[in-house]
Structure 1
């Protein structure tokens, strides 16, 4: 191998990149048809449209309508085949991908993200044939997995599959030495087409710097891995980058627009404990959806009884009706179990409305596995520093003042030579636009008496979900910037906007503008997608505060 070829295979930190965004045409469709593809790229055999209901396909062949998209995908696929990493869109969040068959390539993911080496990766496949090439020769998925794959693949559901420890088909850097590998088939057409065109199963965690909020746009990835974050770190340390020296941790980012789901995939384990299907990480597919599919298939065991099928399973949720395990979290089998995640630079405080607290206590006697009570709220109560004082009635300005004092953001912190503050303390608040909490905040505001939903042309050059700033007569020198999480009854909208809101407020509500010093986020009931939302929010939050509304 020549010196040029060796250099071409180097990744971060041995090499940095001038990161490029590869455009994809959002107006042009990508479809998939059944058809075996040979090693020379030609397709063979009869083809059948995915519209016939035959998903998941055995041999998925993409048909790409846009030349722009086709060229961008070809560039990214070739880069992957050379052992490099590429960021790409999925329906959940943006992922940082490299070949799951190449130890060196997959290691570049850890380096680029600065990800802990004991945090396993999820492998993404384009079809069932690619899945089977990853599994032990004598393994066949049982009826529970088959029913769920038929319903949710391609989609936001990840399965744990066994790995042959004697003859593993994926390198240990993917599994972190665990006897299982996590695999999913994404539904985003650009993601799936990239996998199919590269011919490689792709290991891909979220494409953010480790610990930060997951990215839901190409701009978020560019911010974390394209050099901006590292340039800032150098500046804070008193250094500047050399003239013309690129700082990107990867070469290419495929831009497929905003992610639809906005939360990582749900991860299920049906191989570790006989008779159980465990939800290890809630995500884009809800526990209720999984339960419904298993019930309809006669594969859901309830209580001490069982379904008619002897292979029926009890559905359990880690951290809810399945106790957390220090041993499992110290040796995680899937991402999101061990480390603090999803945290912006600003301090995040979760606001828990008292109605959720009341629902939590009312549900204490309900032990059903599919209970609609708020287990997440009960966990929040357990984590409160002073539960008795937390129940005292306080106004939003009083809570803000307490958090400003706790964070050390005294009014003179940014003052001039005479100690007077030159800029306000900026507070972000992410909340539903029609909730009791939103009305409670607006009642205390000196600007408006009712929440405002964003108009279609409101601040189009800034961000579509930012609302006009609020001021409070009792909070001198404080500006509050609301971020709209959508209607109360639309948990999927909240989920799609949550990471975007954390990043927008943390990185500057205005383009290149001032950042928020504190971010308050309204808690969500943990029904449906709310379980995944609360899982992420608890990991991002430094503290939880009960509010009287």
Structure 2
């Protein structure tokens, strides 16, 4: 059955260039839905072609956001959403985030309200401070599914809530605005693979499975959006991402001062999840990944800790042809002198590490004969929470403390 379904996904995948700098939105466009001004004719032409696919067909489009590249189809169209799942080989009980260009579009297209007395009437007050300060941006919120809903149940995985955000990337915003369609968009990669932050990553994974990809350059954030649930008390951070837990608490006001971090390490078979990234294997290269997680011990010096790392590396690399070591803050450049080792730095700040994470995992995974990827983790503060969330999933919780 799966082979028969996949046989329908054969395209001559095209890459169309777009210039994010040529797309200009007004300061209130994310509220009132006003369209952007586009100063580059090629960018406008390519955006309109992609928007027509979203609006008028069942097909999907790859496009950049500030977080990672997304694979987009209409949130309102069962066939379009099904084609997202098929292109990615993604389980259909994993919900999708709906990306909108404005709160006006949310009201008109999802809640079916062309005229409203208050543009914010469908957004609970608990979210008001957050969206006022962090939208457009890498923040996803959970809202109740309308009683009479236009959303495809494949988008929501037939749950009573749906996830929604307004991206800040001008290409993504323009695509959604010009199609005037809420776009369901998980990351534009084959399911379980590291998320794509460059157009080449999308093409590598989805060539022949989608008609076109908009090339808007590298993604700046490097991990998916932060997902929060303000419909429960206390509110929950369901998935760490582009905005840190600390910033959510700071920007959310009193309602979010006691925000908790969802910490389910395992999801039972058949259990429903409210947001992507909580279920199934994620972010995994083809090579085995081992994560070295910082463990502060008062009795161990840094040199002793690094000796423990060397011993663990010797153990993990027995019989390995080649392996990669991705270091961050503590591992020195000369930690390993083994000629089989390919040593690269993810960065020296948590922000840089977050931005580089997926691209570097893909880069070393594509090197010939690399069977193993060793990664130095960082403390789970600030951006470190999202980084370690992704790395633990990439390593399938194969974690060594140091």
Fold shared by both chains (TM-score > 0.5): yes
Residue aligning to 1:299:
255
CA distance in 1, matches of 2:200, 2:252: 39
How many angstroms does 1:486 deviate by?
A: 1.4
Native 8 Å contact 1:430 1:519 kept in 2: yes
Question: Cα deviation per residue 1:379-404 (whole Å; 9 max; x = unaligned)?
Answer: xxxxxxxxxxxx98745553333112
CA distance in 2, matches of 1:92, 1:429: 25
Once the two structures are superposed, the pairs formed by residues 90-101 of structure 1 within 5 Å of their partners are 90-101=65-76
Residue aligning to 1:135:
111
How many angstroms does 1:32 deviate by?
A: 0.9
Once the two structures are superposed, the pairs formed by residues 210-359 of structure 1 within 5 Å of their partners are 210-226=191-207, 248-271=208-231, 273=232, 275-295=233-253, 298-300=254-256, 314-319=258-263, 326=267, 330-355=271-296
Residue 113 (structure 1) aligned with residue 88 (structure 2):
yes
SS at match of 1:257: coil
How many angstroms does 1:485 deviate by?
A: 1.4
Residue aligning to 2:37:
63
Length-normalised TM-score, structure 2: 0.90
Residue aligning to 2:346:
485
Residue aligning to 2:10:
16
SS at match of 1:442: coil
CA distance in 1, matches of 2:213, 2:40: 18
Query: Where does the alignment leave 5 or more consecutive residues of structure 2 unmatched?
Result: none
Higher relative contact order (CA 8 A, sep 6+): 2
How many angstroms does 1:174 deviate by?
A: 0.5
Native 8 Å contact 1:106 1:203 kept in 2: yes
Residue aligning to 2:98:
123
CA distance in 2, matches of 1:154, 1:392: 42
Q: 2:183 aligns with which of 202, 218, 234?
A: 202
1:401–1:125 Cα change, 3 Å? same
Residue 497 (structure 1) aligned with residue 352 (structure 2):
no
Residue aligning to 2:19:
25
How many angstroms does 1:334 deviate by?
A: 0.6
RMSD: 2.5
Question: Cα deviation per residue 1:43-88 (whole Å; 9 max; x = unaligned)?
Answer: xxxxxxx1xxx46422131111211211111111122222210000
Q: 1:522 aligns with which of 376, 379, 383?
A: 376
Length-normalised TM-score, structure 1: 0.66
CA distance in 1, matches of 2:246, 2:171: 28
SS at match of 1:115: coil
Larger Rg: 1 or 2?
A: 1
Query: Where does the alignment leave 5 or more consecutive residues of structure 1 unmatched?
Result: 1-9, 34-49, 227-247, 302-313, 360-390, 410-424, 446-471, 473-477, 509-513
CA distance in 1, matches of 2:57, 2:103: 24
SS at match of 1:57: helix
CA distance in 2, matches of 1:328, 1:517: 30
1:291–1:358 Cα change, 3 Å? farther
How many angstroms does 1:222 deviate by?
A: 0.5
